[in-house]
Amino acid sequence: MKSKAIILVTSVGLLLAAAIGILVKGDFLNGFKEGEKYVKGMFPQEGSITIQDNQIYFNDEKMTTDSDKKSFPVLSPDKTRVAYYISDINNESIIILELKTKEIKKIRLENITFSSVNKLEWLNNSMIGFYAHVNPSLDVYCLLDANKLQKVKEYYGIGFAWDSRKENIYYALPQPHFSNMKGREKIYKNDQVIFETSDSESILKGPYISENNDIAFYTKDINAEDEVKLNIGKVKDEKIVINKRVKWEKETGAITFTDNSIQIRSDSGIKEYKIDDIK
C-alpha cells in the first residue's frame, strides 16, 4: 500500500512538472492564451520599460538620473531608443533616450495647445505620434521626427486612427461643444475630407479603420440625441462609400473588423456581429 502511494505521488509530481514546463514554453494546449499571459506576467520580457522613483529603467537597469517628471515611456521598434513625456513649468517636451549611450535629446512641444496627454507611440524607428486632449470636443495628434528633433505635422480632431501600415491617419472633426455654431461634421484622411454628415447629424464615435480600408463610425441625430446610427463602409477613391447605415440601440464601443464581422468592445466586454446580419 505504501509503495502504491509513493508511485502515485511520484506520478502526480512528474505530471505537474511536465505541465509547468509546457506552460512556461507557452505551448500548453496549442498556445493556451491564459497560460501565456500568466508567464509573461511573472517573468519580465526582454525590452521592458518601467518608471521607478521617477527614473526610466530598461530591463531593470537605471537609465536616467535627472529630476524631470516622466510619463508615457515607449520603446522604439528596434529597441534602441525610448521616448517619454516630461512636464514641468515652462518645459513640456518629448525626450528621446538612446539606450546604448544613455544620451538624452529633447523635442520641445512648442506652439501646441493641449490640456492633458492621451498617448505616445512610435510609428516606426524615426517617427513618433503624440496624442493629447485639447477641450471637450477636440484633441490634437502631432507627428514628431525623432532624428531631426522637430514637429513635422499636427492634426486637430477626435478619434485618430492609423491604417495598418501607419501611412494614413483617419479622424473626425466635430463642431465645438457648448457653441451655437452649426455645420456639417467631417471625417478626414490626412488633410483630405472623405465624408461629411448631413446638417442634422453629428459624429458620435470613430472612425475605425481596417487593414482592407473597411471603415465604421457612429452618428447621432442632433434633434433626437437618443437616436444613434451605425455606419459601415469602405474607403474608395478618397471617399467613404457607406454600405450599411442602421439605427443602433446596442453598445457603442470601439470597432474592429474580423473577416465578415465586426467586434465591438465596451465596458461590458466584446461582442461580435456578422455584417450581413446587421439591419
**Could you tell me which of 134, 132, 194 has the C-alpha nearest to residue 142?**
132
245 belongs to a structural domain: no
Identify the pLDDT of residue 145.
98
Average pLDDT value for the chain: 84
Query: Once rounded to an integer, what is the mean pLDDT over residues 43-63?
Result: 83
Look-up of cell digits 508567464: 39
Evaluated on CA atoms 10, 13, 15, 18, the torsion sign reads negative
Residues belonging to the chain: 279
Query: Once rounded to an integer, what is the mean pLDDT over residues 164-183?
Result: 81
Question: Looking at the structure, do residues 102 and 26 belong to the same domain, yes or no?
Answer: no
Question: Looking at the structure, do residues 79 and 150 belong to the same domain, yes or no?
Answer: yes
Number of domains in the chain: 2
Q: How far is CA 218 from CA 25, 99, 115, in A?
A: 42, 42, 26
**160 contacts 197 by C-beta, under 8 angstroms:** no
In percent, the amount of the chain with pLDDT more than 90 equals 68
- Indicate which CATH number applies to the domain containing 89: 2.120.10.30
Question: Looking at the structure, do residues 63 and 94 belong to the same domain, yes or no?
Answer: yes
Identify the pLDDT of residue 121.
97
144 belongs to a structural domain: yes
pLDDT digits (tens, 9 = 90+) for 225-267: 689 999 999 999 999 999 999 999 999 999 999 989 999 999 8
Identify the pLDDT of residue 177.
60
129 belongs to a structural domain: yes
Question: Looking at the structure, do residues 139 and 73 belong to the same domain, yes or no?
Answer: yes
Among 132, 162, 192, give the residue marking a domain's end: 162
Among 145, 162, 179, give the residue marking a domain's end: 162
pLDDT digits (tens, 9 = 90+) for 109-139: 988 989 999 999 999 999 999 999 999 889 9
pLDDT digits (tens, 9 = 90+) for 55-86: 999 998 999 999 999 999 999 999 999 999 99
Query: In whole angstroms, what is the distance from residue 278 CA to residue 195 CA?
Result: 22
Identify the pLDDT of residue 41.
38
Backbone angles phi, psi at 15, to 5 degrees: -65, -40
Give SS3 for 15.
helix
Question: Looking at the structure, do residues 58 and 137 belong to the same domain, yes or no?
Answer: yes
Q: How confident is the model at residue 9 (pLDDT cuts 50, 70, 90)?
A: very low
> Do strands 91-98 and 81-88 pair parallel, antiparallel, or not at all (unpaired)?
antiparallel
Identify the pLDDT of residue 152.
96
Question: Looking at the structure, do residues 59 and 15 belong to the same domain, yes or no?
Answer: no
**Could you tell me which of 95, 111, 89, 68 has the C-alpha nearest to residue 149?**
95
Helices (H), the chain: 2-24, 33-42
Is the bond leading into 73 cis (omega within 30 degrees of zero)? no
CA atoms within 13 Å, Cβ hemisphere of 244: 18
How far is CA 117 from its chain centroid? Answer: 13
Question: Looking at the structure, do residues 23 and 95 belong to the same domain, yes or no?
Answer: no
Residue 2: give the domain boundaries. Answer: 1-43
Question: Looking at the structure, do residues 19 and 55 belong to the same domain, yes or no?
Answer: no
The answer on pLDDT for 13 being more than 70 is no
Identify the pLDDT of residue 272.
96
Question: Looking at the structure, do residues 52 and 141 belong to the same domain, yes or no?
Answer: yes
